[in-house]
A and B are shown apart, each in its own frame.
Chain A
Amino acid sequence: AQKVTQTQTSISVVEKTTVTMDCVYETRDSSYFLFWYKQTASGEIVFLIRQDSYKKENATVGHYSLNFQKPKSSIGLIITATQIEDSAVYFCAIVGDNSKLIWGLGTSLVVNP
């Protein structure tokens, strides 16, 4: 069965700095897809960025980028130049052959002025 582990429960940073959130996954699928979502204070779940397992290049979207280390089954999320509005809970998720998203427990990010 697939599994996603986010070991950081919460992170606090000062705005305009860079933050990295860790995510380790388990899967037996040879092809799989990794996603990062954030959940805002209002409860809305927003898609941020994805990494397809067959792609070696790390995905980048705006000020979000991924650190994909396939041999370590790791997909870290990097947010550069953090803003107050980035404060949210960040979820890592994986989907393999079964087409179901398996989620981690999330990392709460607080960006302080």
Chain B
Amino acid sequence: DPKIIQKPKYLVAVTGSEKILICEQYLGHNAMYWYRQSAKKPLEFMFSYSYQKLMDNQTASSRFQPQSSKKNHLDLQITALKPDDSATYFCASSRDWGSAETLYFGSGTRLTVL
């Protein structure tokens, strides 16, 4: 059974709309992250959370807002969607927040913005 669940797996949206990407982890981890994978680019760090507290934000745009209702949840709200937002978004978690931690990834949400 997958330990990090991302929903939906595929998402199609129109420009200007708003979507929420869901992530739940059942590994008992205290830290969660969002990464983005775009074509021809390396995986890109977006956010990190520890015990539901934002630790780091590498996303310049305020259109991307993480939301953590529980320690094992970290959703990603994206507003005013643009075609450039098309990518696969991966949620990840680690036992604790910190450089020495190994990250484990969900299966991703592939977002297409038309």
Contact = CB atoms under 8 A, between A and B. Distances in A.
Contact of A52 (B41, B56, B100, B107): B100
Interface stretch (A13-21, A65-73, A74-82, A96-104): A96-104
B25 interface: no
Given A100-B45, A100-B58, A101-B45, A95 B99 contact: yes
Chain B binding surface, main DSSP class:
loop
B97 to A, nearest CB: 7
Contacts of B103: 35, 47, 101
A33 interface: yes
B37 to A, nearest CB: 9
Contact of B55 (A42, A45, A47, A99): A99
Contact of A43 (B35, B40, B107): B107
6 contacts: A35-B103, A95-B99, A101-B35, A101-B43, A101-B45, A102-B42
